[in-house]
Amino acid sequence: MLSSVTAITKLPFFRIAALPYVLPSYNGRKLGGDEYAYCYGEPIPSAPGKRLIPGVGPKVQSTKKNGHPCPRAPGHFRWLVNWWSVKGESVCDPFMGSGTTGEACIALGRKFIGCEVNEQYFDIACRRLERAWMNRPNLCLMFG
């Protein structure tokens, strides 16, 4: 386990995305409203239609209640995963919560690593990811 963590921390840090669409809220005496996506590894290659990352993504907060106090909109994480990784890459969410990032990864063909310390939220995420896996696109297998 420690060697996996060490390997992750040795990857070059090359990008950070400020997500300007987060609604302001109070955090103690501080009015917060910034959210960041930290990315490690080599830059993803540009592709047709993916040369410039748009500055504004979809709505961040989910209107659907799923048992987590801060649910995120699935469209928000699909946007992040789509723009900041390519098919087949691994995405790590160290604060998995209810599994929104993992659900986006399954839908977009990325590998997913999630960590969650709260057992209740971990169970919610597991159920959600099982459903996403069963309903994922491209279920056809080709045999050679």
Domains of the chain in sequence order: 2-44+54-134 (3.40.50.150)
The set of residues, in sequence order, having a beta carbon less than 8 Å from that of 107 and lying 6+ positions away, is 78, 132, 136, 137
Phi then psi for 35, rounded to 5 degrees?
-140, 145
CB 105 within 8 A of CB 89: no
Query: CA–CA distance from 33 to each of 37, 38, 58, 103 (Å)?
Result: 14, 16, 15, 25
**pLDDT of 142:** 42
- What rounded mean pLDDT belongs to the chain? 71
pLDDT tens readout for residues 3-55: 444 444 555 555 555 555 545 555 554 444 555 666 666 666 666 766 555 55
What is the C-alpha end-to-end distance of the chain, expressed in Å?
A: 36
Per-residue CA distances from 57 to 65, 80, 82 (Å):
21, 8, 11
Q: Is the dihedral of CA 19, 25, 27, 31 positive or negative?
A: positive
Average pLDDT rounded to a whole number, residues 52-61: 54
* Distances from the Cα of 88 to the Cα of 29, 65, 137, angstroms: 42, 30, 14
Give residue-wise pLDDT tens across range 80-115.
Answer: 888 888 888 889 898 899 999 999 999 999 999 999
Distance between CA 142 and CA 144 in Å, rounded?
Answer: 7
Is-contact 67 121, C-beta < 8 A?
yes
What confidence score (pLDDT) does residue 57 get? 54
72 confidence band (pLDDT: 50, 70, 90): confident
Yes or no: say if 37 and 84 are a contact pair by the CB < 8 Å rule.
yes
